[in-house]
Amino acid sequence: MVFSSLFFLYLFLPLNLIVYRLVPNIKAKNITMLVFSLIFYAWGEPVYVLLLIFMTAADYFLALRIDKCAPRSKKAKFYLFSACAVNLGLLGVFKYGTFFLTNLKLLVGFPQSVPSFVLPIGISFYTFQLVSYVADVYRKDISAQKSFSMLLLYVSMFHQCIAGPIVRYKDVYPELLSRRASYEDVSDGVWRFSFGLAKKAILANACGSVADSLLDTKTLSTAPALSLWVGVLAFSLQIYLDFSAYSDMAIGMGRMIGIHYRENFDYPYISRSVSEFWRRWHISLGSLFRDYVYIPLGGSRKGTIRTVLNLFVVWALTGLWHGASWNFVLWGLYFFLFICVEKIFLSKFCKQSKVLPHIYLIIVVFFGWILFKFTSVSDVLLTLKGMFGLNGNPFTSFEVGAIIKSNIFILIFCMVVSTPIVKRTGELIKFSIKYNWWIRTVYTIGRIALPIVLFILSTAALIGDSYNPFLYFKF
């Protein structure tokens, strides 16, 4: 089940909100959310909900043991290691087992047949949540949760279980224990969810359709150069709009019931360096790698060589987190190289100038998405060569021109939405209502009407088009 399905929008979510409002107290509300979350997860993969419950149970018991140990004692370290072994071991089997065995077979000819593992939905997200929880108990930043159902609710909450943001226990536990959704919370939540839904159903899906039309792997060797450039542009917009839309919807649903998830995207395409880009993109993942890998390894405190080594580890893991394929490893190391160059040589350039660093960032990220798009390295090379006409391919064609003309305005609009222009315009209008009753009236009407309009338009888009992919399901 995905947020942009009609079943979720018109049955699951309304039923969840109605039951949630009807039950009398916070304990009943939490039980309601837990039941709905497990049903949500089990809807597509009923067997793997048992895996989620098992991993949570293992961490529940191990965290309780850690909590009783002296800080950073040998016993505490043993229980922490055991929790990481269970979580990362299961993630390794399901996500990387086939990849590892395939490469092992290429190297040594063993095993003769490679088993194929089905990847449980969202396993990368909830595994990291569990690891961060146990690590925080080990650090004595938090106490171990005494209620298994509360820990399971934290891990399985359907708002963010399969696509993030990756939520830390210490950030949401106070609101799981006691919360109240104010009128402003509900209003902001409905607005944020409707905006995210429209971003996904109308904009991201449109960009995805263009990208898939222009970047067909079957015709890459003969594709016109213009189709490759525009196709990569469309994919760059799709992946941002798609992923940030799911974060918007998760944050919105949380606000509707009084839970405040942290932001996961902050308009990354306006950045002026690769480092800044990754501080703005998938913020919850970046902060986890920073706090639980980079800083424990020594961060930038132990000299240039050690800093570079630590960054290498972080970005190799970041690439692998996104997928069990060499293109993702190369993608992570690609950004590692630019971040190292920036730290050593380009830090002043990125801070002093405004326009040139932004152009540099857009170019770096643009070509980086090619590595992310194609799992086959040969397809990556074909695309790069074809963009500069080195495949003997033409610059354009009638068909490519027709596709671009049909979608040029939606692509431009998507570029605008990928910047803070819309948000800042809304903030300006909100500021102006203090001084002008006419603007205040229009703002109030728009605040009520616009989410309804966006919801209707999104529904129409979903009904009229069977194209509704979810890029981050495989992660």
Total residue count of the chain as it appears in this document: 475
Q: Is residue 242 part of a domain?
A: yes
230 shares its domain with 124: no
235 shares its domain with 366: yes
Q: Is residue 369 part of a domain?
A: yes
| pLDDT tens readout for residues 374-419 | 989 899 999 999 999 999 999 999 999 999 999 999 999 999 999 9
164 shares its domain with 213: no
Q: Is residue 318 part of a domain?
A: no
Rounded distance between C-alpha atoms, residue 228 and residue 230, angstroms: 6
The residues, any chain, with a CB within 8 Å of residue 373's CB and separated by 6 or more, are: 211, 215, 232, 235
83 shares its domain with 169: yes
388 shares its domain with 443: yes
Domain count, the chain: 2
- Two tokens at 241? 């709009």
173 shares its domain with 223: no
Q: Is residue 401 part of a domain?
A: yes
361 shares its domain with 410: yes
Domain boundary among 179, 212, 234: 179
**Which range of residues forms the domain containing residue 111?**
6-179
175 shares its domain with 204: no
Q: Is residue 304 part of a domain?
A: no
- Two tokens at 256? 């509707």
216 shares its domain with 68: no
Of 474, 453, 475, 468, nearest to 7 (Cα)?
468
Q: Is residue 16 part of a domain?
A: yes
Helix (H) or strand (E) run with residue 418 in it: none
- Active-site residues: which are they? 322
Q: Is residue 73 part of a domain?
A: yes
| Contact between 410 and 204 (Cβ < 8 Å) | no
| pLDDT tens readout for residues 241-281 | 999 999 999 999 999 999 999 999 999 999 999 999 999 99
Q: DSSP secondary structure string, 428-453?
A: HHHHHTTT-HHHHHHHHHHHHHHHHH
Domain boundary among 155, 179, 203: 179
Amino acid (one-letter) located at 166: I
159 shares its domain with 197: no
Q: Whole-prediction pTM value?
A: 0.92
Of 5, 285, 268, 277, nearest to 128 (Cα)?
285
Q: What integer pLDDT is reported at residue 162 of this predicted model?
A: 86
The residues, any chain, with a CB within 8 Å of residue 44's CB and separated by 6 or more, are: 1, 121
242 shares its domain with 173: no
Domain boundary among 144, 164, 179: 179
Q: Is residue 198 part of a domain?
A: yes
Average pLDDT per consecutive 10 residues, the chain (475 residues; last block may be shorter): 90 96 95 96 88 96 95 93 96 91 85 83 93 96 95 95 90 93 92 95 94 92 95 96 95 96 95 94 94 91 88 94 90 94 78 84 96 92 95 93 94 95 83 76 82 92 70 56
- Two tokens at 433? 């209502």
Q: What integer pLDDT is reported at residue 446 of this predicted model?
A: 79
377 shares its domain with 461: yes
Rounded distance between C-alpha atoms, residue 459 and residue 5, angstroms: 9
